Structure 1
Amino acid sequence: MEEQEESRGARAGKRQGPAISSLDMVVTLVAVVVVLAGLSFSLIFPPDSPDAPVTDEGQRVPAAAIPPPATAADPVVPEGGEVLVPPLAMEAERQSAQLVCQALIGTTELTALAYNIKSARAGSLERLLGVMQRSGAEVLLLQEVDNRRRSTGSVDQAAWFAERLGGWNSAFGRNVTFGDGLYGTAVVSKYPIVSSVNTPLPNIGRAQPRGLLHVVIDVEGVEVSLYSTHLDNTSANIRTQQASRISSMLAADPRPKLLGGDMNTWPGSGPERILTSRLSDSFVVAGSGSGPTHPASRPRTRIDYLLYGGPDLTATSSSVMPEGGSDHLPVRSVFTLGGIKTEKCSDGATSKKSKKGGESEGPAPEEAGTPQ
């Protein structure tokens, strides 16, 4: 009997085993479903970054939207938009530039022409212009120049030359006023004109008024004085007084300087010795060929000069051009002008910079081209 009960219990246990196993499987399946659902939710709705800042409204801002903090080497950009370079970066850049570039002192060539053009009465303006162009001069010191005189076509001759030479600069010094215009000296320059002053020279009686036109130009940062004059042709005494006045004005000018003009006096004369006591004669220093300048058709004597002086100016050549167009032959001289500041950098590039100019002269400068 007991054996029969055990036998029934064993069969009952075998029937209950599969039922428990199915329940476990159901529970496990539910757990897996719950885990998968949680992962899916996390992927769809990621949690907030733990370091994301919170706005005033309590909403978090993604960390990727926050710019990184500025470092000491980064430039600071204020609200106005101007970039402020930190002092350390500026100092490093300055030191780097000093290491890359070095300052040099250089020279440049300056060609000048002294020419009495006789108001274009012995030849046309076009013919005179051709002489100037062939000379290759960059500065022209002219005498017997008309300004809007009806008898010579009402032309401002200095300005006419300047325009046709490529938009150069001109200054006119009035010495005589006629009923139909002005007459005097002029300077035409490829370089900018800084100032222009015409000073009357000593005169006696009814001799024609004469003057000294002083023009300061800027040659690549160096101020250079140009003087154009035409001394008296009637009296050695008047010429001597005029030369003495010019000499005293030259002595007060510290700049490199050129004096060009029709002096109406020959080498070795009293007025010439006065002028060459202050300046050097470019033809004597570096001249070649024949020296006489007047009269142009059969030159017999040298009365036209290009004198020079002051710091950093040296004559390298000088000649009298055998050109027509006037009753005088033009004097052409080439000079070397020093003191030009340059900067040579490691890449081989060289740039010219300014040199300090001389002290400005006493009288207030006229506007270039305006007679005094």
Structure 2
Amino acid sequence: MEEQGKRGARAGKRLGPAVSSVDMVVTLVAVVVVLAGLSVSLIFPPDAPDPQVAHEGRRESAAPRATDVGDPVTPTAPVPTDTGGVLVPPLAMEAERKSAQLVCRAQIGTTQFTALSYNIKSARAGSLERLLGVMQQSKATVILLQEVDYKRRSTGSVDQAGWFAERLGGWGSAFGRNVTFGDGLYGTAVVSKYPILSSENTPLPNIGRAQPRGLLHVVIDVEGVEVSIYSTHLDNTSANIRTAQATRISSILAADPRPKILGGDMNTWPNSGPERILSSRLSDSFVVAGSGGGATHPAGKPRTRIDYLLYGGPDLTATSSVVMPAGGSDHLPVRSEFTLGGIKTEKCTGDAKAKPRDPGSSGTPGTPGAPGETD
């Protein structure tokens, strides 16, 4: 028995190393497998995970990056826009943008303005301030004046037309010289809120020692339409002279294709020879649209109408006419309202900020005159 125990102990010692060798082999195989797996994963990396899908209006996609500083970023596909939790498809956004663009169409319209004809007697019957008050009360935007002084010492060395124009708000004025005195000039004038484009004074026929008379022609710009304004003061001594002067004025008017207004102290009553000559060419605003009494002279107790506002030409119509019961002169002023056609306008719809650029232009938005800029 003792001998057998000794042989078993010696056998156990021989079996121990064999078991350890098997374990070592298994361990080595496992290490080799792990290292092989790591090598494969390094050589062939796994595919990137699929991007998350946006839900309930959230957007999870990241903006593309440029490969270099100067490379433009070009998205491969339109990305839905987040608008308050609701996904708006790109095509719908484009349709909405186009519908908001400013669309303008040219139109031809009308405008209204008021004219006043006033013989101011060189401010000798009333002060300049009083006459100015009458003009302001009339709300006229075009004023035709007669018996106007220009820097005459006897009336204060004032450019009377310019004085009115400045105090009416920096308007324009034009003076027509008919008489030169030793202390200044005397004639007719036009004062206008609208830009004055040109002015010309034409001497009228005269006989003997009668006072020289003239026709002041001023062209004004009424919202893009040229309108002729004529201010005159006919002779007060002879019907023959007045007839010759009216005939000359009529020929001048016939050569003018613009809408036109002739106003002034004609020193002749309705249906007289000179008045019929002028009315054959023009319409009398008081006859067409007048109301109230039409007498203009003398101012204290007017008995007859010798001051007129006549008109003619394309697209010009009188809508009202009155004689103002105002003082400050020996004449009462005539005030008439007119409607003028041919005014070019634009009717626009949409959003001015979304105004589309002109495809035929190459300007840069935001620079003066460039397409897409809104005035």
DSSP 3-state at the match of 1:292:
coil
**Number of aligned residue pairs:** 307
- For residue 73 of structure 2, the aligned residue among 61, 68, 72 is 68
How far apart are 1:149 and its partner, in Å? 0.9
- For residue 282 of structure 2, the aligned residue among 260, 268, 279 is 279
Match of residue 324 from structure 2: 321
Residues of 2 paired with 1:127 and 1:9: CA distance? Answer: 146
How far apart are 1:118 and its partner, in Å? 0.5
The alignment status of 1:337 with 2:340, answered yes or no, reads yes
Residues of 1 paired with 2:175 and 2:7: CA distance? Answer: 148
Partner amino acid, structure 1, of 2:288: V
Match of residue 128 from structure 1: 131
Partner amino acid, structure 2, of 1:115: Y
Residues of 2 paired with 1:13 and 1:198: CA distance? Answer: 141
Partner amino acid, structure 1, of 2:187: G
DSSP 3-state at the match of 1:134:
helix
Contact 2:230/2:263 (<8 A) preserved: yes
How far apart are 1:103 and its partner, in Å? 3.2
Contact 2:111/2:340 (<8 A) preserved: yes
DSSP 3-state at the match of 2:237:
coil
How far apart are 1:253 and its partner, in Å? 0.7
Partner amino acid, structure 2, of 1:157: Q
How far apart are 1:142 and its partner, in Å? 0.3
The alignment status of 1:12 with 2:14, answered yes or no, reads yes
How far apart are 1:7 and its partner, in Å? 9.2
Match of residue 222 from structure 1: 225
- For residue 155 of structure 2, the aligned residue among 121, 129, 152 is 152
Contact 2:66/2:73 (<8 A) preserved: no
Q: Provide the TM-score with structure 1 as the length reference.
A: 0.73
How far apart are 1:208 and its partner, in Å? 1.3
Q: Provide the TM-score with structure 2 as the length reference.
A: 0.73
CA deviation profile, 1:139-185 (whole Å, cap 9, x unmatched)? 10000111111111111111111111111111111111112211111
| Greater Cα offset, 293-302 or 323-332 | 293-302
Match of residue 171 from structure 1: 174
The equivalences for 1:237-252 within 5 A come to 237-252=240-255
Residues of 1 paired with 2:66 and 2:132: CA distance? Answer: 78
How far apart are 1:28 and its partner, in Å? 5.7
Partner amino acid, structure 2, of 1:306: L
Gaps of 5+ in 1: 41-60, 72-91, 350-372
Match of residue 309 from structure 2: 306
Match of residue 234 from structure 1: 237
How far apart are 1:341 and its partner, in Å? 2.2
Match of residue 49 from structure 2: none
Residues of 2 paired with 1:180 and 1:250: CA distance? Answer: 33
Contact 2:296/2:307 (<8 A) preserved: yes
The alignment status of 1:209 with 2:200, answered yes or no, reads no
CA shift in 2, pair 1:38/1:170, >3 Å? farther
CA shift in 2, pair 1:318/1:20, >3 Å? same
How far apart are 1:203 and its partner, in Å? 1.5
Partner amino acid, structure 2, of 1:63: T
How far apart are 1:14 and its partner, in Å? 3.1
Residues of 2 paired with 1:264 and 1:64: CA distance? Answer: 88
Residues of 1 paired with 2:66 and 2:164: CA distance? Answer: 74
Partner amino acid, structure 1, of 2:72: P
Contact 2:217/2:228 (<8 A) preserved: yes
Contact 2:66/2:72 (<8 A) preserved: no
How far apart are 1:318 and its partner, in Å? 0.8
Match of residue 104 from structure 1: 107
Residues of 1 paired with 2:299 and 2:335: CA distance? Answer: 15
How far apart are 1:223 and its partner, in Å? 1.1
Residues of 2 paired with 1:218 and 1:321: CA distance? Answer: 26
How far apart are 1:285 and its partner, in Å? 1.0
CA shift in 2, pair 1:116/1:343, >3 Å? same
CA deviation profile, 1:303-345 (whole Å, cap 9, x unmatched)? 1100000011111111111111001110111111112222223
Match of residue 62 from structure 2: none
Contact 2:188/2:216 (<8 A) preserved: yes
DSSP 3-state at the match of 1:105:
strand
Match of residue 141 from structure 1: 144
Residues of 1 paired with 2:328 and 2:163: CA distance? Answer: 16
CA shift in 2, pair 1:343/1:28, >3 Å? same
Match of residue 270 from structure 1: 273
Residues of 2 paired with 1:6 and 1:67: CA distance? Answer: 84
